[in-house]
Amino acid sequence: MTNRVVIHTDRSTGSINRNIYGHFAEHLGRCIYEGIWVGEDSDIPNTQGIRNDVLEALRGLQIPVLRWPGGCFADEYHWKDGIGPRATRKRMINTHWGGVVENNHFGTHEFLMLCELLGCEPYINGNVGSGTVQEMQEWVEYMTFDGESPMASERAANGREEPWKVSYFGVGNENWGCGGNMRPEYYADLYRQFQTYVRNYGDNKIFRIACGANDFNYDWTEVLMREAGRYMDGLTLHYYTVPHTWAEKGSATDFETSDWFLTLRKALMMDDLVAKHKTIMDKYDPQKRISLIVDEWGTWYDVEPGTNPGFLYQQNTMRDALVAAATLHIFQKHHDRVRMANIAQTVNVLQAVVLTEGASMTVTPTYHVFEMFKVHQDAEALDVDHRSATYTLDGESIPQTSVSATRDEAGRIHVSLCNLSHDEEAVVTIELRGLADGADGAAQLPLSGRLLQGAAIHAHNTVEQPQQVQPTELTSISRSADGRIQVTLPPASVAVLQAG
């Protein structure tokens, strides 16, 4: 069976918030230290301590927003430990992640400098679990107050006269778990209290984000929306794709086709999950003022053999590329409510876009998906009818293809497509309806495309072989006289088509 896509180019469903393409960097394993921060005295070429190779790679993604410092780390992070001369900063234990020493060399100034270098917005996650209201209030004052105040003076004394612009602030992380093991009613009250002191100084307007549910915990969303909805701009959701069980998740690279299928089936559950949390949000916020922010998502496998179990280091294959692409399609489908998402995590942790080993670096298949899909950022979402063939394995079925279409500012149409099948090609016919010059126009539009595929479903990049998986030109496109486009996607591949 073929896969049929009709794109109604005259029917926009809204816009894709570029923050759906956000990232997350925690003080965890080798994400911040080594992955991003090497220090000014390092032999690894760097810009004020931030490694140049990673900086350059990340710039290629046009990252819109970066979340920091955690994760679980956020609720035991005391920001004042991370300011002032680095040599005298407090050394603490990173109890959540490997029990290693955290020297606090990467703190508020370094993170906000990283955001400036990347040209992205910072999303700071504050500490509710083990912090105080005063500590949170002073952090916001330190970063954003323009005038005379104790915190603004301290900032200036530490070398930064001008305040930063900080739009996104999270009040706690996973407070149902590592952030304090709270009940939703208790956290809802704490949220109301803490957010009161997360102030807007001058023209810095803060978008307040409340800690939301873990995957299927709909009760958390219900209670938060009911008790604290009017005090928040965003509510989070965390969902990780874990192929098997939390105790034995499965290997990142050594997997069977049944694991491939299972992983993709679980990744697609994001659709239903988002839809159900949205239904609860709609009940309390029919105007859709509050955003659903999926600020942790991605694959979670067993750590690579021989690595620190607390560092969550895993390889990244074409399977991850398909998870990323299909999940981004789901977020785009729910763009009316999902206005930010942050894949976990940027470098060397979980479904990373960049992996480093000492002075070497490679980008992952997931990186390429983010790079290819950046054309969707802030674009207009187009109404799409999609009839997919079915991908069946061992009696279970999922759709074989996934698709999303947008129009950019210049009027070009971008269609991203995935073929989830591990062994069958997908023939996709695409009809562009509603163009001002009709089918003739569709027949004339310049067409081009890029394709991401590997030599096998396990294909991945390493620092020794960094180009095993990289985008190539999509050549299997044809067009009939009436403008209908036909694309043949190889098994286990992702493509982005440009018309116009």
Dump strand ranges (E) for 40-87.
46-47, 50-51, 65-68
Give the Cα separation of 324 and 418 in Å (integer). Answer: 10
> For this structure, is 396 an active site residue?
no
Contacts with ligand AHR, 350-389, as mask; x by CB under 6 A: x---------------------------------------
* C-alpha 238: how far from chain center: 11
Shortest Cβ distance from residue 303 to ligand AHR (Å)? 12
Q: In the complex with ligand AHR, which residue's Cβ is closer, 37 or 201?
A: 37
- Which position among 110, 174, 380, 431 bears the catalytic label? 174
- Which position among 296, 371, 380, 431 bears the catalytic label? 296
Contacts with ligand AHR, 174-193, as mask; x by CB under 6 A: x-------------------
Token pair listed for 156:
């200036």
Q: β-strand 401-407 against 396-399: which pairing, if any?
A: unpaired
Q: In the complex with ligand AHR, which residue's Cβ is closer, 145 or 370?
A: 370
Shortest Cβ distance from residue 71 to ligand AHR (Å)? 3
Contacts with ligand AHR, 125-164, as mask; x by CB under 6 A: ----------------------------------------
Work out whether 72 is an interface residue with ligand AHR (CB under 6 A).
yes
Token pair listed for 232:
């928040």
Q: In the complex with ligand AHR, which residue's Cβ is closer, 292 or 379?
A: 292
Shortest Cβ distance from residue 267 to ligand AHR (Å)? 16
Contacts with ligand AHR, 336-355, as mask; x by CB under 6 A: --------xx----x-----
Give the Cα separation of 4 and 425 in Å (integer). Answer: 14
Give the Cα separation of 474 and 372 in Å (integer). Answer: 12
Identity at 74, one-letter amino acid code: A
* Residue 159: partners with Cβ closer than 8 Å, 6 or more residues away: 109
Number of residues in contact with ligand AHR under rule CB under 6 A:
10
**Could you tell me what percentage of the chain is helix, strand and coil, using 3-state DSSP and rounding each to the nearest 5?**
30, 30, 40
Identity at 420, one-letter amino acid code: L
Identity at 399, one-letter amino acid code: P
Neighbours of 247 (CB within 10 A): 6
Shortest Cβ distance from residue 96 to ligand AHR (Å)? 7
Q: For residue 163, what is the DSSP state?
A: P
Could you tell me how many residues make up the chain?
500
Give the Cα separation of 348 and 367 in Å (integer). Answer: 12
Q: In the complex with ligand AHR, which residue's Cβ is closer, 95 or 476?
A: 95
Give the Cα separation of 464 and 460 in Å (integer). Answer: 11
* C-alpha 404: how far from chain center: 17
Give the Cα separation of 72 and 37 in Å (integer). Answer: 20
Q: Residue of minimal CB distance from ligand AHR?
A: 71
In 3D space, the residue among 222, 137, 212, 204 whose CA is nearest the CA of residue 173 turns out to be 212
Q: In the complex with ligand AHR, which residue's Cβ is closer, 237 or 280?
A: 237
Binding region for ligand AHR (CB under 6 A) out of 69-77, 319-327, 369-377, 490-498: 69-77
Binding region for ligand AHR (CB under 6 A) out of 41-49, 64-72, 156-164, 327-335: 64-72
Give the Cα separation of 321 and 310 in Å (integer). Answer: 24
Shortest Cβ distance from residue 200 to ligand AHR (Å)? 26
Work out whether 26 is an interface residue with ligand AHR (CB under 6 A).
yes
Shortest Cβ distance from residue 288 to ligand AHR (Å)? 26
Work out whether 71 is an interface residue with ligand AHR (CB under 6 A).
yes
Q: In the complex with ligand AHR, which residue's Cβ is closer, 338 or 349?
A: 349
Q: In the complex with ligand AHR, which residue's Cβ is closer, 73 or 142?
A: 73
Number of alpha carbons in the 13 Å side-chain half-sphere of residue 60: 14
Shortest Cβ distance from residue 277 to ligand AHR (Å)? 17
Taken in order 285, 286, 291, 295, the sign of the CA dihedral is: positive
Shortest Cβ distance from residue 70 to ligand AHR (Å)? 5
Shortest Cβ distance from residue 454 to ligand AHR (Å)? 25
295: helix, strand or coil: strand
Q: In the complex with ligand AHR, which residue's Cβ is closer, 38 or 343?
A: 343
- Nearest 5°: the CA angle 220, 69, 75 is 50
Work out whether 70 is an interface residue with ligand AHR (CB under 6 A).
yes
282: helix, strand or coil: helix
Q: Which of the residues 268 through 287 are near ligand AHR (CB under 6 A)?
A: none
Work out whether 296 is an interface residue with ligand AHR (CB under 6 A).
yes
Nearest 5°: phi and psi at 461? -100, 145
Shortest Cβ distance from residue 89 to ligand AHR (Å)? 22
Give the Cα separation of 336 and 332 in Å (integer). Answer: 9
Q: In the complex with ligand AHR, which residue's Cβ is closer, 174 or 302?
A: 174
Q: In the complex with ligand AHR, which residue's Cβ is closer, 72 or 228?
A: 72
Q: Check if the beta carbon of residue 432 is closer than 8 Å to that of residue 9.
A: yes
Give the Cα separation of 452 and 492 in Å (integer). Answer: 9
> For this structure, is 431 an active site residue?
no
Instruction: Give the footprint of ligand AHR on this chain (CB under 6 A).
Output: 26, 70-72, 173-174, 296, 344-345, 350
Just list the catalytic residues: 174, 296
